[in-house]
Amino acid sequence: RFFGFTEAAIVLGSVLILFGAFVAVQFGYFFGGQANIRLEGFTYAEYARRGFGELVTTAFFALLLFLGLSMVVQRQTETQQKIFSGLGVTLTLLVGVMLISAFQRLILYETAYGFTRLRIYTHVSMVWLAFLLVSAAILDIFQRQRLFALAALLTSVGFALSLALLNVDSFILQQNIQRFERGEPLDVGYLASLSADAVP
């Protein structure tokens, strides 16, 4: 480890101030839902996709920054360790707010237009991305950063198993038929394109 604690705390602290200000200013945009679609002129698709794109970009760079610093920063005292871990946990929480926002937007999109494979994959990936972020923070608290590769592997396996256990095509069919029973339109062409897993 070669990077000084003070310098690392300044870097992480600056990012936290930036993220905190961003979340505070954009809170209404994050969770505005229908109001944003009416007032800002977004379509449901634009609102959901922008949310997911922002989340993935932010989460990736935040995770990269935290992991990178975690591996190279000198923490010579228990206090320094606690401060650094606290900064990491706070960073995870702020990214978590964006994650919840993106999750809520996708639900809004699905409520309006129904479920598809891509939307289900995106939803499941958000859950496992949250698991990976929390894992990174916990591993740093217990100074087990080398186990992050295992956490990433478990996340990938968990994502794949979740899709298999969910039976995506059957879930899509059930949810869209429930929407139809509530008076929403039914995209029969899309449902017909699903695999035999959707039967009966």
pLDDT at position 108 over 80: no
Question: pLDDT digit string (tens) for 59-99?
Answer: 778 878 888 888 888 878 888 888 888 888 888 888 888 78
Helix ranges (H only) for the chain are 5-25, 27-31, 34-39, 44-72, 78-113, 117-141, 148-166, 168-181, 188-192
